[in-house]
Amino acid sequence: MQKKGFIFDLDGVIVNTAIYHYLAWKKIADQLEIPFSEIKNEQLKGVSRTDSLKKILSWKNLTVTKEIFNHLLEKKNNDYLHYISKMTENDILPNVVNTLKWLKNNNQQIALGSASKNAKIIIEKIQLTHFFETIIDGNSVTKTKPNPEVFLNAAKYLKLPPEKCIVFEDSVAGIQAANSGGMISIGIGDKKTLSDAHYNFKDFTEIKNEFLLKLINN
């Protein structure tokens, strides 16, 4: 059996923290009197905290001082940390653990590639740290998705060329990053939204071991 690199995004792939990001960003948007909805929140998926705030401000052509900007970033993060502090392994999305176990049992290499600066905290909270050979998060990259840096760094750590890596993503920016990095992209979520992915699944309950085996042997 060949050895491939399986790189997982975090938010919306392993756990559904999207709701917590949405609630924290909504507080900021409400404070700034900027209309914000779950549909608008989709534009922030896979995007760094700094770029997300820039995007929200742009919706109202609003400019703020650097001091206020940093204060808003800190406030959003503190609210988000409050929400995720209560997370447990019960927050892991269906069949993710079975997929990780199968890959581990078949000697595949597993990495986490996330824009989140809190990725390590969350992975520890939900007790999945032992599955990952490396965690590349928002603290260890300078460019955010759709730039492929986060995934290329993960591949480099795994000592594998990009074409031997498979990325699980739930965001448009993440799929674009995987594709431009020369990797196989697997969209988790809405097929229409993630139409650029090489493969699409609603969630991990649809991913069978036979499919994973096909990815490894191809």
Query: For 86-117, how does the pLDDT look when each residue is reduced to its tens digit (9 = 90+)?
Result: 899 999 999 999 999 999 999 999 999 998 88
pLDDT for 164 equals 98
> 46 — alpha (psi -120 to 50), left (phi > 0) or beta?
left
Assign 47 a pLDDT band (cuts: 50, 70, 90). Answer: confident
In the chain, helix, strand, coil percent, each to 5?
A: 50, 15, 40
Per the CB < 8 A criterion, the answer to whether 169 and 149 are in contact is no
How confident is the model at residue 42, as a pLDDT? 85
State residue 17's pLDDT score. Answer: 85
Answer CATH for 5-16+89-217 from 3.40.50.1000, 3.90.245.10, 3.40.1670.10, 1.10.730.10 = 3.40.50.1000
Write the pLDDT tens digit of every residue in 189-207. 999 999 999 999 999 999 9
Q: What is the dihedral of CA 145, 147, 148, 153, to 10 degrees?
A: -90
The CB density around residue 34, as the number of other CB atoms within 10 Å, is 17
Q: Which letter does DSSP use for residue 73 in this model?
A: H
Res 30: pLDDT: 97
Window from 42-46, 55-59, 96-100, 147-151 with minimum mean pLDDT: 42-46
pLDDT attached to residue 212: 98
Residue 132 has pLDDT above 80, yes or no: yes
Q: Which pLDDT score is estimated for 54?
A: 97
- Whether residue 11 lies in the annotated active site: yes
Helix 66-84 × helix 49-58 angle, to 10°: 120
Is the pLDDT reported for residue 123 higher than 80?
yes
pLDDT, tens only, 13-31: 999 887 898 999 999 999 9
Catalytic-labelled residue, pool 9, 30, 79, 91: 9
The pLDDT-based confidence of 48 (bands split at 50, 70, 90) is confident
How is domain 18-84 classified at the architecture level of CATH?
Orthogonal Bundle (1.10)
Query: In a 3-state reduction of DSSP, which class is residue 30?
Result: helix
Q: Where along the chain do the CATH 1.10.150.240 domains lie?
A: 18-84
- Split at pLDDT 50, 70, 90, the class of 136 is very high
Whether 9 is a known active-site residue: answer yes
Q: Where in the chain is the domain with CATH 3.40.50.1000?
A: 5-16+89-217
pLDDT at 46 > cutoff 80? no
Q: What is the DSSP annotation of 40-56?
A: HHGGGTT--HHHHHHHH
Residue among 11, 51, 190, 196 flagged as catalytic: 11
Strand, helix or coil for residue 63? coil
Q: Where are the beta strands (DSSP E) in 25-144?
A: 109-113, 134-136
